[in-house]
Structure 1
C-alpha cells in the first residue's frame, strides 16, 4: 500500500505550513510532494524556504517560482517583488532546482520512481500551462467546476494512458475528480492562502475571485490499495490571526481579510 501527501500554494505562510506538517506526522505518510507557489506573498518567504529546505519533500515549480526567478523585478506584481527582495542566492538556487512542471507531467516515473511509482504525474496548473486551472473554469467574477470536456481539452493528450493519478494545484480549490474510469485528478487546495483575486484573462472572465470560505490550511492524502487511489482532502485549523496581522503590517489588507475569513474583501 502506498500513502502520499500533496501540498500546494503555501505562499510563505509558515504558520499554516507548520500546522500541516504536524497533522501529517500522525498519518504514516511515505512521501510528500509540494506542487508549487511556495513563497510568493507578503508573509515569510525566506523563513518558509528555510523550513522547506530541511524537509525530505519533492518539489514542483509553480508559476510564482517562474515569475520570481525569470521576470525582471520591476515587472513583478507586489507579492512576487516582496518575495524577490527577501531571497538570498542560496534560496534562489534551491528554487531553481524545483522540477519543471512541463517535465514532471511526462517524466514522473523517470524522475522519482522510488517515491511515487510510474502511474503518478504532476503539474502546477494544468499539463499545458502553469497559469491554467485544470478543474475550475472562471466565469464572470467566480469560478465553477470545469466540465469533463473542458478537463479533457486541458489534458490535451499530454498525460500518458498509464497514469492513474494526476496531482495539480494553482486554483487553491481542494477537489478530486475522476476522469473516465482510470484517472483520478486531485487538487489539494492551498496550504497558505484560502482566497484571492485574479485578473489573468480567461475565455469567460477577465477578473475573478477564488474563495474557500474558511481560513484553514488544506492538503490531501492519497492512498493506493488494490490498484486504486483513494483521496482524503484535509482541512487543518491553525493560528491564522498571526499571519493576518503580519499581512496588515505589510499593508496587504486584502491578504489579511483572506487569511481571516477565506473570502476577499468587497469595496
Structure 2
C-alpha cells in the first residue's frame, strides 16, 4: 500500500493542483490530508470545492476548529476571511473532517481498511492541534526537538502497535524515527512554506518558519520488508499566481 500525505494547504489552489498533478504520475492507493486546509488569504472556497471531488481522507487542523467554532469577532483575519467565503455546504464538509485529537486516529482505528491498523494521524501533536510535535521554537527560529521532548508530547496517546505516525502543523517537512522504531512523518506544507508566529512558547515569544523555497511539499510512504519508506517531495508551481493580496499572511500556523 502506497499512501500520500498532504497537509497545510491553506487555500493555495495552485499549489494543490500541482500536487494533484504530481500524484497522478505515481501509484498511490490513498491520500490523507492532515489539516489546515482552507484558511488563508487566497482561495478557500475554490480549494474546498476542488477537494470535495476527491476521495481523500481528511483530518481537521486547528484552523478548521477555529473557523467552525470561534465567534467571528475572535477569529484571526485569515480565518474570518475564510469564514466569509464558505457556504453552509462547505462548512458541513469541513465539519466532517476527523478530530485531530480523536483516540481512533491515534490507535489506527479510524480508517484501518484504507491505511492499515498500524498508521496513526494527527495535525499538531496527539494531545493538541496547536502544538508542534517535532519542532521546538527557540528565540526567533524553530529547531528539531529532542527525543525526550517528542516522547513527552506523545505521552500515552500512541499505542505500541503503531509503526507510522503522520503529523503536520509546523510546515517543516521531516522524518524522525524514535528508539521504539516508530516513524513520524511531517510532509511539510502544500501551500504556505513560510510564516511567522507571535504565540508565546517557553523559549520564544516570536518565531519564523522558513523553508527556503515556494515549492509545494507532500510525502509518499510505503512498506518494504524492513519497515516504512518515506519520500519527501517538493513540487514546483506558478506561485506568483497566488498573490497574497486579500488579507495579511496568518501568524498562527
Q: Do Structure 1 and Structure 2 share a fold, with TM-score over 0.5?
A: yes
Aligned to 2:80: 81
Aligned to 2:234: 235
Aligned to 2:54: 55
Shift of 1:107: 4.1
Is it true that 1:123 corresponds to 2:119 in the alignment? Answer: no
Q: Secondary structure at the match of 2:101?
A: helix
Shift of 1:26: 1.0
Is it true that 1:28 corresponds to 2:27 in the alignment? Answer: yes
For 1:80-122, what per-residue CA distance to the aligned partner results, in whole angstroms no more than 9, with x for missing partners?
000000011000000110000111433432x211100110000
Q: 1:152 to 1:107 in 2, by over 3 A?
A: closer
Q: How does 1:237-252 map to 2 (within 5 A)?
A: 237-244=236-243, 247-248=244-245, 250=246, 252=248
Aligned to 1:8: 7
Aligned to 1:182: 181
Between Structure 1 and Structure 2, the one with more helix by share is: 1
Q: Which runs of 4+ in 1 moved over 4 A?
A: none
For 1:50-84, what per-residue CA distance to the aligned partner results, in whole angstroms no more than 9, with x for missing partners?
00001000000000000000000111011000000
CA distance in 1, matches of 2:81, 2:236: 26
Q: Secondary structure at the match of 1:108?
A: coil
What's the C-alpha RMSD, in Å, of the aligned pairs? 1.1
Is it true that 1:19 corresponds to 2:18 in the alignment? Answer: yes
Q: 1:26 to 1:66 in 2, by over 3 A?
A: same
Shift of 1:225: 1.6
For 1:215-235, what per-residue CA distance to the aligned partner results, in whole angstroms no more than 9, with x for missing partners?
000000001122610000000
CA distance in 2, matches of 1:106, 1:242: 37
Shift of 1:182: 1.9
Shift of 1:206: 1.3
Aligned residues of 2:108 and 2:162 also touching (Cα < 8 A): no
CA distance in 2, matches of 1:165, 1:251: 37
TM-score by length of 1: 0.91
Aligned to 2:215: 216
Aligned residues of 1:13 and 1:44 also touching (Cα < 8 A): yes
- For structure 2, the 5+ residue unaligned runs are none
Aligned to 1:39: 38
Aligned to 2:66: 67
Is it true that 1:114 corresponds to 2:113 in the alignment? Answer: yes
Aligned to 2:156: 157
Q: How does 1:130-169 map to 2 (within 5 A)?
A: 130-169=129-168
* More relative contact order, 1 or 2 (CA 8 Å, 6+ apart): 2
Is it true that 1:105 corresponds to 2:77 in the alignment? Answer: no
CA distance in 1, matches of 2:37, 2:128: 18
Shift of 1:203: 1.1
Shift of 1:200: 1.6
TM-score by length of 2: 0.96
Aligned to 2:191: 192
Aligned to 1:258: none
- For structure 1, the 5+ residue unaligned runs are 256-267
For 1:10-43, what per-residue CA distance to the aligned partner results, in whole angstroms no more than 9, with x for missing partners?
0000000000000011110000000000000110
Aligned residues of 1:7 and 1:34 also touching (Cα < 8 A): yes
